[in-house]
């Protein structure tokens, strides 16, 4: 089980954000996110948006820190990348 997180460098709503992804399945990602208390509404298409202040929680729980470009490469390589317009739902 590997879940990845990129650095909190994405601005929005007065905060910085990270992206949390799995390169195995959405089920794995949803389970990990629930385990660290990430609300379902934070899921967007293929990742969870995680505020900077929660970054350490994810890493302590086992998320592997990688750069944003590598995160996207792994997501695409696993066939789990969903572009805008492909839905926001909690599909598995």
Q: What pLDDT was estimated at residue 85?
A: 58
- Summarize pLDDT for 23-63 with one digit per residue, the tens: 899 999 999 999 999 999 999 989 999 999 999 999 999 99
Q: What pLDDT was estimated at residue 77?
A: 84
Pairs from 78-82 (Cβ < 8 Å, separation ≥ 24)? 78/22, 78/23, 78/24, 80/21, 80/22, 80/23, 80/25, 80/26, 80/46, 81/46, 82/45, 82/46
Q: What is the three-class DSSP state of 88?
A: coil
């Amino acid at each position: 089980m590997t879940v990845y997180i990129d650095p909190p460098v994405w601005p929005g709503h007065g905060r910085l954000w990270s992206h949390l992804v799995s390169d195995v399945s959405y089920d794995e990602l949803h389970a990990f996110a629930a385990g660290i208390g990430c609300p379902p509404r934070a899921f967007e298409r293929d990742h969870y948006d995680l505020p900077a202040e929660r970054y350490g929680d994810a890493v302590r729980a086992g998320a592997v820190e990688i750069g944003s470009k590598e995160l996207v490469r792994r997501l695409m390589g696993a066939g789990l990348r969903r572009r805008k317009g492909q839905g926001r739902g909690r599909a598995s």
